[in-house]
Structure 1
Amino acid sequence: MPDSFDPASATIVVVTYNRSHLLTGLLESIIRMDPKPGHVVVVDNASADDTTEVVESFRPRLGTELVYRRLDENTGGSGGFSEGMRIAHEIGSEWIWLMDDDVEVLPDGLARMGVWTPRFKSIQGRRYDYDGSEFYWQYRIAPTLAIPIPFAPAGFDASGYREMNSGCFEGMFIHRDIVTKIGLPDPRFFIYWDDQTYGWLASRQTTSVIVNEFVLRRTRELKQWDMGVRHLNASSNAYRYYIMRNRGIIKHYLRAHGAYRPVRFATGSALTLVKELIRLVAVEHTVRGTSNLWRGLRDGWKIGADRSWAIMTPLSEHPADA
């Protein structure tokens, strides 16, 4: 780990909702970390289980400073990560490491990420899947289509990294300078497309990379259709709705950054719809749930047509004690 990287300058931000059993595993893994981050921020999306008690039970033994923020309502992963990043930025964190509650951090995960900090400011590590296999994440998108590129190479050369133009909040490791420039994640996504959009914005400010370092392990098993290196996970009615609805939000970000191409974007929407129909049949073996896709398309069109809608703004840099 380079001398220029201070582990205490990093903050892990965790978003959780009614999954205290999974959160317990993640917090236990943070105890085993060496080195540890300076802070851990847990954002609770108004859980109805024993999440508060679980978090407080870790406070005396986590080995680092714990900040717990319980929201008044469920704001989705998007709202949780936006709030968590706001807290991390305000307390002066130099590096912010985002993750869901259904992963564990490998003991040397922070050290492995720290190796890359002298060169890059937007970094994605790798993770093992529930069964211990290497999880493949689609790290590149076609911006004008606003869809992931499913055939982006999975392997790494001797450099140990690949440039990316996307992001994933299950492991995004980002410098405060980039957060300041592009602002907080947009909570209006609620779920889905938020991290991909945020990663794209980051890649427009700096060279973003996925590095050949395994730093996380998924702890929740998902039903999926295995296609070799690639796979399709099972989803939910909420997922089906937001994956289509949130394309209306993406349209505004593309417009604001001069990357909106109507025909290509419509093609991307059509491809997304087809993919979700395939997911229903191939993974969940049903055709029920299509109404959520159509509702999402309808509401997304309304959002995209609303010219009063504004994207998130950059943050003002200020001291942590301001």
Structure 2
Amino acid sequence: MTTVPPAASFDPASATIAVVTFNRSSLLTRLLESIVAMDPKPGHVVIIDNASTDDTAEVVESFRPRVGTEIVYRRMETNTGGSGGFSEGMRVAYEIGSEWIWLMDDDVEVIEDGLAKMGAWAPRFKSIQGRRYDYDGSEFYWQYRVAEPLGIPIPFAPAAFDASGYKPMNSGCFEGMFIHRDIVAKIGLPDPRFFIYWDDQTYGWLASRETESVIVDEFVLRRTREIRQWDMGVRHMNASSDAYRYYIMRNRAYIKQYYRALGVHRPLPFAVGTALTFGKELIRLALVERTVRGTSNLFRGLRDGRRIARDRTWRPMPPLLDPAR
């Protein structure tokens, strides 16, 4: 039986849901509908619109009288990617004084009592990841452990939970990360330079260096977008895109820079991790997307990553001052 700590010190109004969206107003509508049905509700909902050209702004306005909590809407001038959107969403949530920040994409919906479930763990931990259902209602497996020397997730980390109801993690996923402002103050905002990919893993890894980070056995989100994938039982491999393939390889350089800055970079194991990442993308092309086209984007990402890795002026995201303190 899962052991859940008491929720006495958690105030739902102290939490903010921060959502990043881009040209997917129909998915955003489903997410906002689920927030309307939430009980309890967060104190704020921050929506970062990555310069959408559809009716996203109108959809947001239509929910203001219905959602039951304050909506803060920010439209970016350009598409800053998921990384830039989550960085801005975290910044806004932090500056309005949120104690807890719950990050999510627009292609999920919140389980009605999801915030209560996350809040039950808030007195004990400050970096928490809940579980989510996949599009078809199955349990989504997320790779919550990183092999630090390699800088890649461990695909065979155990899926089962014991009676404690949680497992230590050293990664993160912006589709459901629940993080306390104290940790945000220490590690700074998510790094917008990633644009997409590896940004949430890196941010979760940074958080785990400051606090005990956990994934808890609580289903709090449901994915609402179907993604083509190769089913491997408990685990699966999703289809990708040329943009993802490029950033998967390019952004290895940003992980390397963070590792160097924090004194954990080991060149040979990290190079092995990069080679394994490249090989995984070849497998994804062959078995999920049934093509060999797209490899040029992997090589282009490696090339541009080398320039980033040679930049000796590069610095990590800085810690934040905390005006609420």
TM-score bracket, normalised by the shorter chain, equals over 0.9
Distance in 1, matches of 2:127 and 2:7, equals 17
User: Which of 212, 216, 221 lines up with 2:221 in the alignment?
Assistant: 216
- Residue in structure 2 matching 1:58, options 57, 63, 67: 63
**In 2, distance between residues paired with 1:222 and 1:176?**
32
Q: Could you say which residue in structure 1 is the equivalent of 2:248?
A: 243
Query: SS of the residue aligned with 2:244?
Result: helix
Q: Which residue of 1 aligns with 2:116?
A: 111
- What are the within-5 Å matches in structure 2 for residues 138-287 of structure 1? 138-287=143-292
2:3 counterpart residue number: none
Residue 101 in 1 paired to residue 106 in 2? yes
- Of the candidates 51, 73, 84, which is equivalent to residue 78 of structure 2? 73
Cα distance in 2 for partners of 1:102, 1:91 equals 25
**The residue matched to 1:300 in structure 2 has which SS?**
helix
One-letter amino acid of the structure 1 residue matched with residue 143 of structure 2: Q
Structure 1 gap segments, 5+ residues each: none
In structure 2, what is the Cα distance between the partners aligned to 1:240 and 1:187? 18
Residues 1:44 and 2:49 aligned together: yes
Alignment pair present for 1:82 and 2:87: yes
Q: Secondary structure at the match of 2:20?
A: strand
Count of paired positions: 320
Query: What's the secondary structure of 1:215's corresponding residue?
Result: strand
Q: Deviations over 1:270-316 (max 9, x none)?
A: 00000000000000000000000000011111101111111101001
Distance 2:98 2:174 in 1: 17
Question: Is 1:133–2:141 an aligned residue pair?
Answer: no
Give 3-state SS (helix, strand or coil) of 2:314's partner: coil
Matched, 1:29 2:34: yes
SS of 2:47's partner is strand
**Aligned-pair CA distance for 1:319:** 3.2
Bigger drift between 169-178 and 301-310 goes to: 301-310
How far apart are residue 47 of structure 1 and its match? 0.2
Q: Gaps (5+ residues) in structure 2?
A: 1-5
1:124 Cα deviation after fit: 0.1
Q: Secondary structure at the match of 1:221?
A: coil
Distance in 1 of aligned mates of 2:233 and 2:8: 40
Q: Distance in 1 between matches of 2:264 and 2:240?
A: 29
User: In structure 1, how many angstroms separate the alpha carbons of the residues matched to 2:133 and 2:122?
Assistant: 22
3-state SS in 1 of match to 2:230: strand
Inter-partner Cα distance in structure 1 for 2:119 and 2:43: 13
Shift of 1:37: 0.1
* Distance (whole Å) between structure 2 residues aligned to residue 31 and residue 137 of structure 1: 27
Query: 1:3 deviation in Å?
Result: 2.1
Deviation at 1:14, TM superposition (A): 0.2
Identity of paired residues, percent?
Answer: 78
AA at the equivalent of 1:222: I
Q: Secondary structure at the match of 1:54?
A: helix
TM-score by length of 2: 0.98
- The 2-side partners of 1:112 and 1:308 are apart by 43
CA RMSD, 1 decimal: 0.8
Which secondary structure does the structure 1 equivalent of 2:164 belong to?
Answer: coil
Runs of 4+ in 1 over 6 A off after TM superposition: none
Residue equivalent to 2:301: 296
